Structure 1
């Protein structure tokens, strides 16, 4: 069993990723921490509570920071045109969800849970890296206690999706992402290099909704607005970005990785660009010296990833 803390900004593809984690038999979801990104921190936290309620999820929800890692940095506009004004495809999520929050902040929840289960917790982060960076800053010792950090974000050998240089999750808090990439823990980056190869059609979602009960029926409704947005890129389908990171946890053999230190550009036209120095490349003395070697996913068996996603989503 993989003990997972899911750091998320629900978000339509976040919702699919959450249901995958809930329904996969090898995942023990021990907590959900929220971050801003697809919507404000208030909206993403409300959405996490709503999904917890609707899907009867036992894991606690803890609210993260609504500010970027570097004090005073301006937050980029939220992508309402992708995820809807309510963050969940404009399905009419109630303004207030009567489900209690965990009293701890997201960074406190991460720190305390990691320390309570040394070497066992996998952090799956599919939004801004702010909570992880804040947890590291408050308790740097957790880097040696976390089993693994699996991130949906970044673009190494392909263009970004919010600028030519950057993918949205990394661009949204580049300083936090750089802090996470360069910390002395094991990081795997599941970015656009692989996620853009994975898509689920509207027809497949409808078929899964017919088999997967009320939970899948809700996911199908949530996803329609998102599919409409993606229609120019993947016809009548949605890219399953965040779910790819969850699949990596249980089926890493479906991914091809490249090892090497990773940095994130934090300003100018390259803000949010992820760069990797592959292991074995030699340069003169530079800011790349002494950094931990991390894994970047560069290819994927998309057919079998999607087969696993579909099989998992309809489990009861």
Structure 2
């Protein structure tokens, strides 16, 4: 069954990898891309999205979103990981046509969801500011969205608790207030966090083989990954990269590849632990309990990594045909 998705993203090297995966996937109808700050500034993220949309004939509507978080001071673009403009050494032309919808991303999301009730899955792989603004603008969308899939957070699986602080993942840390609002809203959320994205790995050999077999898309993924893999090599001592954003696409397309755990989720919004995500899995209500009044959400804890690697290869090769 095909899932119609709005892809909320901050392109971003792995975002670009995920956009091509969603574009080519037979189980996904990538209808729109909404942009948000994060890996890049909002202007660079939007230009990158337009560049990908045009270069690979994706045909998605693009709407420009938030330029900064709801309350906290901005962290700034993740230049060390994604480069000055977001896609490493691959630069969208400065004169790239920025062909976008006139509505801000949160309004576009709300109106699309109302126009197609029960059909739209929101897949968000950046800070969750656009989704929080959509909830504020039209709280009733919680009854109209099919599902929300989030790449973000970390819950301690195999010690995976954070990548920008000892306890926080980057997307959640960038806007913890927005994340807490999204996770506690009364809509179905699946969280694809570091607990599973670290279980799947694009080795340098895998990416080399993709370059040889997948035409223009494979060449692009190889080129855009150079900066990313340099970071992984220098900072983490790894010859390849974890599969973050494409894993959220994989969940939207094939959720049966993931094992999930049910329970309400809260986010620490301030202080040194800002961005920490905590899921309540114990039954019953505690004396001091900020979880039990909220909807239980799905947190991914295991994944069939081989299935994702095989599927990603097959889909990207398919774009060359």
Per the TM alignment, residue 99 of structure 1 is displaced from its structure 2 partner at its CA by 4.1
Q: What residue number does 1:86 align with? A: 85
Q: Bigger CA drift: 2-11 or 277-286?
A: 277-286
Residue equivalent to 1:54: 55
C-alpha distance in 2, partners of 1:120/1:13? Answer: 26
- Could you say what secondary structure the match of 1:123 adopts? strand
- What TM-score does the superposition give when structure 2 sets the normalisation length? 0.95
Partner Cα distance (2:98, 2:42) in 1: 16
Partner of residue 27, structure 2:
26
Contact 2:41 2:76 in 1 (8 A): no
Match of 2:191 in 1: 189
In the TM superposition, residue 215 of structure 1 has moved relative to its aligned partner by: 2.1
**Contact residue 46 and residue 96 of structure 1 kept, 8 A:** no
CA 1:296 to 1:175, structure 2 compared with 1: closer, same or farther past 3 Å? same
Q: Distance in 1 between matches of 2:163 and 2:207?
A: 24
Once the 2 structures are TM-superposed, how far is the Cα of residue 235 of structure 1 from its aligned partner? 2.6
What stretches of structure 2 of length at least 5 have no aligned partner? Answer: none
Could you tell me which residue of structure 1 aligns to residue 13 of structure 2?
12
Q: Is the 8 A contact 1:165 1:270 kept in 2?
A: yes
CA distance in 2 between partners of 1:54 and 1:265 (Å): 40
- Mapped partners of 2:97, 2:272: distance in 1: 43
Alignment of 1:162-311 (within 5 A): 162-231=164-233, 232-233=235-236, 235-278=238-281, 280-284=283-287, 286-311=289-314
Aligned equivalents of 2:207, 2:101: Cα separation in 1: 32
User: What is the Cα deviation at residue 279 of structure 1?
Assistant: 5.4
Residue 284 of structure 1: how far off its partner (Å):
2.2
Q: CA deviation at 1:111?
A: 0.4
Alignment partner of 1:98 is 2:101: no
Rounded to whole Å, the distance in 1 between the matches of 2:284 and 2:55 is: 50
**Cα distance in 2 between the residues matched to 1:101 and 1:283:** 48
Q: Secondary structure at the match of 2:241?
A: strand
The alignment's C-alpha RMSD in Å is: 1.3
Q: Distance in 1 between matches of 2:91 and 2:98?
A: 17
3-state SS of 1:149 partner = strand
Aligned to 1:143: 142
Alignment partners' CA distance in 2, 1:92 and 1:13: 15
- Per the alignment, in what secondary structure is the counterpart of residue 86 of structure 2? coil
Distance in 2 separating the partners of 1:188 and 1:218: 29
| Aligned structure 1 segments of 4 or more residues deviating by more than 4 angstroms | none
Distance in 1 of aligned mates of 2:199 and 2:134:
32
CA distance in structure 2 between the partners assigned to 1:167 and 1:99 by the alignment: 30
Which moves more between the two structures, 165-174 or 51-60? 51-60
Q: Is contact 1:259-1:279 (8 Å) kept? A: no
Q: Deviations over 1:2-27 (max 9, x none)?
A: 00000000000000100000000111
Q: Deviations over 1:116-158 (max 9, x none)?
A: 1100100000000000000000000001100000000000112
Q: Quick one: distance in 2 between partners of 1:131 and 1:92?
A: 25
Q: Distance in 2 between matches of 1:69 and 1:224?
A: 33
Secondary structure at the residue paired with 2:70? coil
Offset at 1:281?
4.7
Deviations 1:233-268 (A, max 9, x none): 363201110000110112111111100000000000
